[in-house]
Structure 1
Amino acid sequence: MNEIESTLIIANDISYLNTHTIEKIIALEKVGHYPISQGPFLSITDSYFDGLSPSWQKSGFSLRIRQSNLDTLITLKGPSQYLDNEITSKVEIERPWSPESLHEITDELKREDLQFKSAPSNVSSLDPHTALKMIGFRLIQTRLNDRRTKTILSPDGSSVVAEMAIDHVTYNNDTYPVKHNEIEIELKGSGNVSDLKNITGELTSLYPETLCPWRFGKLSTGMAIDYLHEKNKLEDLLFEDRSIKKTGYNALHEILSLVHEDTI
């Protein structure tokens, strides 16, 4: 299925304005003409893998193991297509972790001519990380995400049109954890691209000092953070709590715009 979404980062060089915006969005009961209902809180650990071959790294595909509360999921995401400056669409296959799910996803990768080893016969007894490493994938990123979700309804309240996630992400880079805050709005149910544009536009008009469109995914954002760290340019771009300043996002945007078509 296709995942269609928009993303807004919470970015100002005054820390309390960012915190205030997050609190206000969590408390929202309506955005424009769209009613909002509270959804569940999710504690998520995402681990991303890629293959060792150059063809995999150029393909735009990414493979994720997600631990969400008590659920373990395997997800394959394809390269992003930009519907406009704010909205992206990508193919996504997400399944509960099982030998059958791994087989389905590896079959899809074979159709894309991406190479890897055969799954071991005892895959059902292995944890997902071990299984993926055995068939030739490597771990490239781990991050934590405290996610608050909200369901967005049609203006008359009769159907679901989108889900909004307020994401508090920590890139788990051992000696230099970095915090990233964003709002993700994904089409659901009867929603269409016009709804997504309207909701995104309403949010940015409510909080113009802190909300900015962000066309890059969490995976590539984390990779750009790693690059800044390696160049000793990261620390001045962070607040004391390790969250990213607006100037930090400007630096990340410059890097990502030069080197990358987003994959996640």
Structure 2
Amino acid sequence: MPGKIRVGIGGWTFEPWRETFYPPKWPKARELEYASGRVTAIEINGTFYSTQKPATWADWARRTPDDFVFSIKASRFCTNRRVLAEAGESIDKFVNQGLAELGPKLGPILWQFAGTKKFDPEDFGAFLKLLPTSVGGLPLRHAIEPRHESFRDPAFVAMAREAGAAIVFADAEDHPQFADLTGAFVYSRLQNAHEEVPTGYDDAALDRWAETARDWAAGRAPEGYNYIETPKGDGLARDTFVFMINGAKVRAPAAAMALIERVGR
């Protein structure tokens, strides 16, 4: 059986969505409730800038459907630093702020690096070793998103595989694309939506993303993307996360819902 495909958006608070996504006069306090009923995952981006109280995490879990999942963007204090090997204290603080309150709704953690951060094998390897495998009895899944071409190195792929971390697949004009399968799941961020298209991506593009997601879920390495190593599938089922992020953000919910129609819930 292939892995489960989840399609989502970044956050749930975005003023233009009150005109294009949420019903008229929908209470702001219930935006998460509405959004989580129409997409199957949400990437929480605000955690990049600040921590949350355990009660907040518990409330988010309470207000979302049973089969819903949050992915969480790690704090900038963990990744935006000169020496990654010294991030241990920041990583511990981030992971232990209350993530375990999400229970089974805790999805992958996204570790995103600045576009200026170059690949230093020794330092990056030390960073990966700092990532915890669990919190509060819950297993942790880690997605690594470098944004510098120096990471196009087989040594980086080997490190990610050894750590069990997924290399983030980015569909973006301004960031490199690394399509290699490394973790037990796939994490993709699609950022080339067009505002003039009601669903962000046209039908042909959405059909292609649906096919790509099904390939990932079945452990296949789809053709036509930028790999570091020679692409090869391994046939291992992988839960697959596809997030409509940035680009024409106003279209993100429509894009996510259109893709969900193609891959099923």
* TM-score (norm. length: structure 2): 0.24
Higher relative contact order (CA 8 A, sep 6+): 1
* TM-score (norm. length: structure 1): 0.24
Give the number of the structure whose alpha-carbon radius of gyration is greater: 1
